[in-house]
């Protein structure tokens, strides 16, 4: 897909140099940069969600479930308690 975007001159010139040095097209460089930016954004959103989920204290039910799960895991795997 083709599109037109406005880019500051200094960034455009830097991308031109990078494209020449790496023998890649500008389109490839911009696509890779946006792909990396999107991945970073998704990771930050995931981290925020995890931080929210784990920032609240464990409820009594969650504690009981975790302890029960730990016992079942130890029994199923023959895990040795340290």
Q: Which residues, 6 or more positions from 25, have their beta carbon under 8 angstroms from its beta carbon?
A: 19
Q: What is the pTM of this model?
A: 0.64
| Residue 68, pLDDT above cutoff 80 | yes
| Residue 14, pLDDT above cutoff 70 | yes
Where are the domains positioned within the chain?
Answer: 9-77
First-residue to last-residue Cα distance in the chain: 58
Q: What is the pLDDT of residues 22-58, one digit of tens each?
A: 999 999 999 999 999 999 999 999 999 999 988 989 8
Q: What 3-state DSSP class applies to 2?
A: coil
Q: What is the pLDDT of residues 54-65, one digit of tens each?
A: 898 989 999 999
């Amino acid at each position: 897909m083709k599109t037109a975007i406005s880019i500051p001159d200094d960034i455009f010139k830097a991308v031109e140099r990078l494209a020449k040095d790496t023998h890649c097209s500008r389109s490839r460089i911009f696509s890779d940069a946006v792909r990396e930016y999107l991945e970073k954004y998704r990771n930050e959103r995931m981290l925020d969600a995890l931080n929210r989920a784990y920032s609240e204290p464990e409820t009594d039910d969650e504690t009981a479930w975790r302890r029960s799960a730990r016992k079942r895991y130890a029994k199923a795997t023959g895990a040795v308690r340290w």
